[in-house]
Structure 1
Amino acid sequence: DLVRMIAQWCEDEGYYTSMLALQDEANMKMAEVEQYNTSTLVLRQLILDGNLNKACEILKSPPWKRYKALLFAVERQVFLETVAAQEMQKAFSLLNRRLKPLEAYARSAADFKD
């Protein structure tokens, strides 16, 4: 609402270039927020559906790359489910290749030791 009021004032005062620049920037920001919200919903649904490998793929791509702690949590769940399925060779591989590099992002040292 504030952006619309400022844009209206710019138009009323004859600052058309400023008005257009403001509207363009506001629309780009809204598009970024909308895209982020959509990908958040997709990620949430993948996790709830148990499609953890696909969730990990998404977490390794922008804009999710900076959420390493979340990636650690999902990778840890993949590891735990693999252990529960008694696929020990695969679990050991997951531990070394995917979980160990994220050890620093565990909430506590105990999270990684478990």
Structure 2
Amino acid sequence: MSHSDDIPVVTPYAPRVEKTPAAVREALDPDWRAEFEAGWRAALDQAKETFDLDPAHEVVIRWWPRAQLCQVPGAREEKERVEREFLAAGHPVGAGVRRHHEIRAADGRITL
């Protein structure tokens, strides 16, 4: 056994949620779970007509980061607080801007 085996691994990261519909659904907070289920069902209805599963895969990919967020106690609240601060300051919080703004909170801490 090497010296590094004696050191416990401590990480600030949440357990990784698998990118599967069931895993994402299970990891989401109840209110987000309901939204995910509605999107998932709509994508499956579309797939019945088009024989194209891409929209269903896109639902999973779109919701997976939120599922990850739900695994860290308090992370969702912090993310929503930061978004409120940016909106109150007149900064847009949208698809192109959100990723950049979520990296650092107003106090400089790294956030999701």
Task: Tell me the TM-score normalised to structure 1 length.
Answer: 0.29
In proportion to residue count, which structure has more helix? 1
Task: Tell me the TM-score normalised to structure 2 length.
Answer: 0.30
